[in-house]
Amino acid sequence: MFSKVLKWAARIVLGLVVIVLTVYGVFNFIFRQHASKKYTVTVRNIPIPNDSATIAEGRHLYEIKGCGECHGADLRGKVVVDDPAIGRIAGNNITYGTGGLPESYDNTDWLKALRHGLNTANKPLLLMPSEEFTRMDDHDIAAIIAFCRAQPKIDAPSIPIEMGPMGKILSVMGKIPLFPAEKIDHHKEQPNQVAKAATKEYGQYLAASCTGCHKPALTGGDNPVPGAVPVANITSTGHVGKWSQHDFITTLRTGKTPEGKQLQVKDMPWNMTAQYTDEELTALYLYLRSL
């Protein structure tokens, strides 16, 4: 009697293991299909100046677009996610030092990475938010590239990306945005230059950097990082609707909201928004208030 029960229990456990492995196998297969998809794109080449004013603009953009969050302030690369279940994801060394970009990595390759989310083999770059960068105008993209290319070479190994089982499953389910290339309209041409001024139009242009977390409509919702705090609604129907321009600027520079909440950099990256100029924050405020 007892051995019969044991036998059945063993069969059930074995059956469950087989089911779990099969399901995981399917997820793994779909993940590989996404990761190995090869794209055909025509990169529109634009001139990349190398004067000091452009490089300085590029430095500011490198800071406000959060490149340093994943590639480090000095471009040597940085581990972004390191979790046994999710995986290890690191932005690579994007200097021309040993372990970084090869000497042959040219302006077309930079544009392909930033505007199309693809590597030199035309395969998707993981996690790199190119669906936001692709919305930048020629002037700004050129300035970022000019800045990056002007940085000193650093010898530091790029840490290879290794996805864990949970990371693959969540990405296939669309819970973590691993394949920005899939969200890009690869034929869309960006304007030459958007007018920089304290206007809501310029605010809309800048808000591309907020949509990854606050969602395209900026009304917030689930956090793209599994298990993290929900993302706030930052349109006029949220707290921002009650804030003065001064409140808004102070919040984005200090992380302290008028309601007395201290935003944590790991949730809301105000270390990044603190780098915006007054003009940029005013433009963002005007745009968000118009929603």
Residues that bind ligand HEC (CB under 6 A): 65-67, 69-71, 80, 89, 91-92, 94, 110, 113-114, 119-120, 125-129, 133, 144, 148, 161, 209-210, 212-214, 223, 229, 231-232, 234, 238-240, 251, 257, 261, 263, 267-269, 273, 284
CA 37 to chain centre: 20
- Smallest gap from Cβ 111 to ligand HEC, in A, equals 10
- Residue 71 or 169: the one with the smaller Cβ distance to ligand HEC is 71
61 vs 169, beta carbon nearer ligand HEC = 61
Residue (19 or 277) nearer to ligand HEC, CB: 277
Pairing assessment for the beta strands 87-91 and 78-83 based on DSSP bridges: antiparallel
Q: How far is the CB of 24 from ligand HEC (least distance, A)?
A: 22
Residue 15 or 191 with smaller CB distance to ligand HEC: 191
Closest approach of ligand HEC to the CB of residue 51, in Å = 19
User: In Å, how far are 2, 67, 231 from 70, measured between CA atoms?
Assistant: 57, 6, 20
Answer whether 237's CB lies under 8 Å from 245's CB.
Answer: no
Question: For residue 34, what are the contacts with CB-CB under 8 A and spacing of at least 6?
Answer: 124, 171, 172, 178, 179, 182
Closest-CA residue to 110 (of 58, 164, 152, 188): 58
Task: State the nearest-atom distance from the C-beta of 60 to ligand HEC, in Å.
Answer: 11
Specify the length of the chain in residues.
Answer: 291
